[in-house]
Structure 1
Amino acid sequence: MKPNIGDIYCVYVEQLQRYAACQVTGIKEKWGKPLAAVLELDWTGDKLPTEEELDKMKPLYCDHFSNDQLEHSYVNPQVPKHYILAGNRPPLVTEDTSRYSGWHTGSSMVYQLKWRGIPEDRRRSFKEAAMDNTPVVVGGVQMARSTSEIRDATLQQFSDLSELKQLPCLTRIAADRPYESLLSYVNDNPFIYELRLENHGYTSIDLRSSSLARLILQADGLEELFLNKGLTFLSLTGTPSPKLKIHAEDGGQCLTAAFTNNVPPVCGLERLSGLHVKQVKDLDLGPIVRSYPQLKELDLEGKPGNIVNLQQLEQLTNLRLFSTYDIFGFSGEAFPGPDRLPNLTWLWMESLPADAAKAIKDKYKKEVPKGLDLSITKPRKPEWLAENFNNPFRDWDGRDNITEARAKKAMNLYKKTLAAITTLAEQIRGGGMTAAEAESALDTLVSDYTEAFNKMDRRSGFIETVEREEIYTVLEDLLNGARQQLSAAGVEVDVDKLFDTFDKLRDF
């Protein structure tokens, strides 16, 4: 559905258990495509607004945490199908906006209402401290009074976590070991928005009194977890115990959970709203559908990975958002049609089997005018998969800032370097190469690897932060593999020395 300027739309927000509203204030062309400017409105209701209520609506002005702005952003002009047109009024804001977002009406209202629930004097102190960079000494460490995040290296300097009170703007804490009073501090502080907790040693954790929105938690050994009302994102790392019981508001109805590779049937999240699975290798969708039948959002990211029983997706009748990246092993026929997923408003699939990509696009292209955000990109042919399925630079093929030629060079460079490392190990085992010669050969391989990317980047400078990290990570995996192979052949490899060569030679 295409919006008109002045249109006011309402959407039901589960966290509020009420409707929220937004207004389309403008439509413009950007990057060769139309965008709609959407303003969130300071209104909620248990039913759709009357004409009188529409006349009285005002822009939502958010001042939670460090925000101090209208919620006004450009979005895709396709209105999601679950948004309801309530009326049309002259735009409440005529100024332009430089922000870009998505159709997330209601989320800002959730945070704003949560902020308004904090005592005014504490909110005032937070705002004052946010502008104050005066140095304070906390646990023997000097930092700005406006500090908003504390990591484990700093926490280890503290003898008493009560010293954290000198940092009124603290919103994020990351701990890699147990701290006696950390959980009580988080439960008592309404500003702590995110907690990362690893190697904690707890079998039971109770965060019901906290105001957390995000919790990233190592699940090893944990048997019981009590979550606070208002938590929207839970990431469980490690290996969750089969005994784990999670106590979440309404069975996780307003919660998104994230796992790595496998998805355990976690007891207590039977009404889970969103599920993200990263580093998928082999995934059976059947148990997911049975364990989490109320899902509204499902995001699968492969390493790359294969999926079976994709046809069971049709049982998730509440599903609104479905996305995959580097997921294979399925056909277009296995993917349910629009009649089986009536509430789907977002379908993004990147790097998937070519035949499936065409079939899915054909099935769903007619749904776009009805409000579906559809993106099917990087179709992979069988021959491409056979050659590049395990190539870490496969993602460069089709990336906007990387030409096809450079992507192919990177993938071939990986294969060449990997093959050379395997050959080195074979030569050593066969007695055709000494340890010193192997070390020299590895140094040459690292030099050639680095210079190849220098040459690729020299003309256009296409290597940015993401690509730089990927080049480093791939080299790290290659050298760790070399260390294992050569160690088995009786030769020890100094990986740090080889990375010194990489750092000295790289120009990107």
Structure 2
Amino acid sequence: MIPEAGDIYCVYVERLRSYAACQVTHIKQPESAKGKPLAAVLELDWLGDAPPSESELRQMKPLICNYFFWNDRIDHSYVDAVVPAGYTKVGSLPPLAEEEVVSYGSWDTGGSMARQRNWEAIAPKLRQRFKEAAQDRAKVDVGGRSLSRSTSAADEDLLRQLSDLSELEKLPCLTRIHADTLSEPLLAFIAGNPFIIELQVSHVEGTDLDLSACRLNRLAIRPEGLRQLTLNRDMLQLTLTGPASPELRIAAEENGRWLTVHNTAKLPALIGLDRLGGLHLTGIASLDLTAVVRRFPALRELRLWGKPGTLTGVDSLAALPELRRFSTYDLFGFTGEQFPGPDKLPRLEWLWMTSLPAEAAGPIKACYKKQAAAGLDLHITKARKPEWLAENLDNPFRDWDGREHISAANARKAASLYKKTQSALRSLALRSAAAGPSDAAVREELEALVAAYTETFNRMDRRGSFIETVEREEIYTVLTDLLQNFQAVGGQADIDVLVKLFDSLRDY
């Protein structure tokens, strides 16, 4: 359903245990035939136990946000113009905001209201100190470094220079800590600072970690050695940056109902998260969804990325009655007939599947066509035939095939260049291992391969500029991976020197 300017919608927000409301202020029509209309959505300052009455509707006004670095701003963003399932139109008013919309997001009514409430729960004096520092560009000495009072992140380099963690109190706007080791003093500092909402740590002292006194929203941790992890009630995202012990027990609010776990490759055991709300798995080579559903039967969001990989047990998704959001990327091995239909996933609001079997793409898209018209956010793209998969399984540029601004010819050239460079480096590695690190001929040939790799992309981009930030990073990453693999099989190379050569030669 496409809304009209002025329409007001409400939706029940489970975390707030209330209805929240938003207004569509205007519709932005697409600039191209392939584009889709966007709706400018404004979050409103209203919560209720039931949809708003007529009198409440007439008193609606924008939510004014001043949490963290927001300064009396409204939450007003462009989103997909199709109204999601679960949203109910309750009336219409002249647009309550007419300012130009410059941000893009998704339907998240109630999100800013929750963040504003959490902000207002912090002591007023602390909030005032934060706001004053956020506008202060004066420098303070912290650990021998001159930093702005508005600095929001402390990394390991800074922490290592501190003789006393109390020096961090000179930075009232700290919201992020990135540390190698989470010591008891650092944990105490984080627990005493309500503004620190993100922690990234590689090592924890001891086998138990209790964060219940903190206000963290996001935690990235290497869990090696941990047996007990107690999360605070505000925790929303837990990223495991290494393997977790099968004995690791995690305590979270409502057994993880509001938590999303990010993990690489394999399904973690994570004892204690029996009502886990979200799971993101990356780098999948092979995954049986039956095991996922059995372990986490209350999932509301499941997002899966292959390297590419094989996905089996797709029919078991029907046993996730609360599933709202599901996505796959570069995953194969299933058919459209195996994917549950809308009657099995009645609460599904968001279905994105990219780079999937052609035999699955068509039937899934057709099956959910009516739900898409009714508000399901449906994107089924890059249907792959078996011959494509066989040809591109080891092609790191496979995602270029089907990317909107990249031609099929350029995608093929990139794949061909990768294979050619990989083959040449494999042959050279054998000679390099025998010749030793001082062989000038090997060094010259390595430099010639890097120059040829770089110049090929230069020529491709000159014919039709298409290499943007993402592609530039991908080209760099593929080259460094190739050089690291060259070293891994016995080749002798100074990768830093070769990367500098690449940077000096590239035109994009």
Q: CA deviation at 1:179?
A: 3.3
Select the residue among 304, 317, 325 that pairs with 2:308: 304
Unaligned runs of 5+ in 1: none
1:282: which partner in 2?
Answer: 286
The reply on whether 1:315 has 2:315 as its aligned counterpart is no
State whether residues 15 and 230 of structure 1, in contact with CA within 8 Å, keep that contact through their aligned partners in structure 2: no
Q: CA deviation at 1:217?
A: 1.2
Q: CA deviation at 1:273?
A: 1.2
- What CA distance in whole angstroms lies between the structure 2 residues aligned with 1:27 and 1:101? 15
- Residue 103 of structure 2: SS of its match in structure 1? coil
Select the residue among 428, 452, 463 that pairs with 1:424: 428
Letter in 2 for 1:338: P
- What CA distance in whole angstroms lies between the structure 2 residues aligned with 1:129 and 1:215? 25
Deviation sequence 1:412-452 (CA, Å, 0-9, x none): 00011111122334567899xx9543333222211111111
Letter in 1 for 2:354: E
The reply on whether 1:137 has 2:141 as its aligned counterpart is yes
State whether residues 14 and 254 of structure 1, in contact with CA within 8 Å, keep that contact through their aligned partners in structure 2: no
- What CA distance in whole angstroms lies between the structure 2 residues aligned with 1:97 and 1:482? 49
Letter in 2 for 1:12: Y
Letter in 1 for 2:164: D
1:192: which partner in 2?
Answer: 196
1:496: which partner in 2?
Answer: 496
- Residue 336 of structure 1: SS of its match in structure 2? coil
Letter in 2 for 1:504: S
The reply on whether 1:381 has 2:393 as its aligned counterpart is no
- Residue 3 of structure 2: SS of its match in structure 1? coil
Q: CA deviation at 1:507?
A: 2.2
State whether residues 429 and 487 of structure 2, in contact with CA within 8 Å, keep that contact through their aligned partners in structure 1: no
State the TM-score, normalizing by the size of structure 2. 0.95
Q: 1:80-91 to 2 correspondence within 5 Å?
A: 80-91=84-95
State whether residues 256 and 275 of structure 2, in contact with CA within 8 Å, keep that contact through their aligned partners in structure 1: yes
1:22: which partner in 2?
Answer: 22
1:452: which partner in 2?
Answer: 456
Q: CA deviation at 1:119?
A: 1.3
The reply on whether 1:339 has 2:330 as its aligned counterpart is no
Q: CA deviation at 1:176?
A: 1.4
Which moves more between the two structures, 205-214 or 48-57? 48-57
1:63: which partner in 2?
Answer: 66
1:393: which partner in 2?
Answer: 397
State whether residues 2 and 81 of structure 2, in contact with CA within 8 Å, keep that contact through their aligned partners in structure 1: yes
Letter in 2 for 1:53: E
Q: 1:25-44 to 2 correspondence within 5 Å?
A: 25-32=25-32, 33-44=36-47
State the TM-score, normalizing by the size of structure 1. 0.95
- What CA distance in whole angstroms lies between the structure 1 residues aligned with 2:368 and 2:145? 57
The reply on whether 1:468 has 2:462 as its aligned counterpart is no
Which moves more between the two structures, 434-443 or 402-411? 434-443
1:105: which partner in 2?
Answer: 109
1:49: which partner in 2?
Answer: 52
- Residue 456 of structure 1: SS of its match in structure 2? helix
- Residue 136 of structure 1: SS of its match in structure 2? strand
Q: CA deviation at 1:157?
A: 0.7
Q: 1:119-198 to 2 correspondence within 5 Å?
A: 119-198=123-202
The reply on whether 1:212 has 2:216 as its aligned counterpart is yes
State whether residues 429 and 492 of structure 2, in contact with CA within 8 Å, keep that contact through their aligned partners in structure 1: no
State whether residues 173 and 195 of structure 2, in contact with CA within 8 Å, keep that contact through their aligned partners in structure 1: yes
1:222: which partner in 2?
Answer: 226
Identity of aligned residues (%): 53
Q: CA deviation at 1:149?
A: 0.9
2:260: which partner in 1?
Answer: 256
- What CA distance in whole angstroms lies between the structure 2 residues aligned with 1:112 and 1:430? 64
State whether residues 344 and 372 of structure 1, in contact with CA within 8 Å, keep that contact through their aligned partners in structure 2: yes
1:247: which partner in 2?
Answer: 251
- What CA distance in whole angstroms lies between the structure 1 residues aligned with 2:24 and 2:378? 21
- Residue 215 of structure 1: SS of its match in structure 2? strand
Q: CA deviation at 1:191?
A: 0.6
Q: CA deviation at 1:279?
A: 1.3
- What CA distance in whole angstroms lies between the structure 2 residues aligned with 1:166 and 1:144? 9
Cα–Cα, structure 1 residues 289 and 179, in superposed 2: closer, same or farther, change >3 Å? Answer: same
Q: How many pairs are equivalent? A: 502
RMSD: 1.8
- What CA distance in whole angstroms lies between the structure 1 residues aligned with 2:145 and 2:184? 20
Which moves more between the two structures, 25-34 or 99-108? 25-34
Letter in 2 for 1:356: A
- What CA distance in whole angstroms lies between the structure 2 residues aligned with 1:462 and 1:29? 25
2:13: which partner in 1?
Answer: 13
- What CA distance in whole angstroms lies between the structure 1 residues aligned with 2:55 and 2:304? 44
Letter in 2 for 1:47: A
- What CA distance in whole angstroms lies between the structure 2 residues aligned with 1:473 and 1:274? 29
Which moves more between the two structures, 179-188 or 94-103? 94-103
State whether residues 74 and 97 of structure 1, in contact with CA within 8 Å, keep that contact through their aligned partners in structure 2: yes
Deviation sequence 1:377-434 (CA, Å, 0-9, x none): 1111111111111110111111122221111111100011111122334567899xx9
State whether residues 234 and 256 of structure 1, in contact with CA within 8 Å, keep that contact through their aligned partners in structure 2: yes
State whether residues 432 and 492 of structure 2, in contact with CA within 8 Å, keep that contact through their aligned partners in structure 1: no
- What CA distance in whole angstroms lies between the structure 2 residues aligned with 1:30 and 1:168? 43
Select the residue among 235, 238, 251 that pairs with 1:234: 238
Deviation sequence 1:226-266 (CA, Å, 0-9, x none): 11112111111201111111110111111111111112121
Cα–Cα, structure 1 residues 163 and 474, in superposed 2: closer, same or farther, change >3 Å? Answer: same
- What CA distance in whole angstroms lies between the structure 2 residues aligned with 1:180 and 1:250? 27
- What CA distance in whole angstroms lies between the structure 1 residues aligned with 2:15 and 2:99? 30
Which moves more between the two structures, 439-448 or 412-421? 439-448
Select the residue among 60, 79, 84 that pairs with 2:83: 79
